[in-house]
Amino acid sequence: MLQKAYRGSPERRCGMSKELKSCPFCGCRSHIVWESRKIGHAVQCRQCVALGPQCPSKSEAITAWNTRAGEKV
């Protein structure tokens, strides 16, 4: 289960300089970055509740969220 959420700006909450893209499903710009010691990190849309891939780090979760189908990482 994802345990801890960082709400709002990823720069302030996660110590990241990357900005999150809007949700690929609904276009919402409001996100939650989840953290779990067991399964890692993931980004979730606050409007449609779409959940990005679970990754070992916040940075990788944000990169995965920002990567769109057919786009090279």
Model pTM greater than 0.75?
A: no
For 15-48, what is each residue's pLDDT tens digit?
Answer: 444 789 999 999 999 999 999 888 799 999 999 9
Asked if 39 contacts 2 with a C-beta cutoff of 8 angstroms, the reply is yes
- Assigned domain for 9 exists: yes
- Assigned domain for 71 exists: no
Q: Whole-angstrom Cα distance, residue 31 to residue 13? A: 12
- Assigned domain for 48 exists: yes
CB atoms within 10 A of CB 33: 24
Give pLDDT, residue 15: 44
Count of domains for the chain = 1
Give pLDDT, residue 9: 41
The whole domain housing 23 covers 4-66
Q: Whole-angstrom Cα distance, residue 69 to residue 33? A: 21
Give pLDDT, residue 12: 38
Stated as kind and residue range, the H or E segment containing 65 is helix 58-66
- Assigned domain for 72 exists: no
Give pLDDT, residue 52: 95
Rounded (5°) CA angle 73-65-15? 100
Is 1 or 68 the better-scoring residue by pLDDT? 68
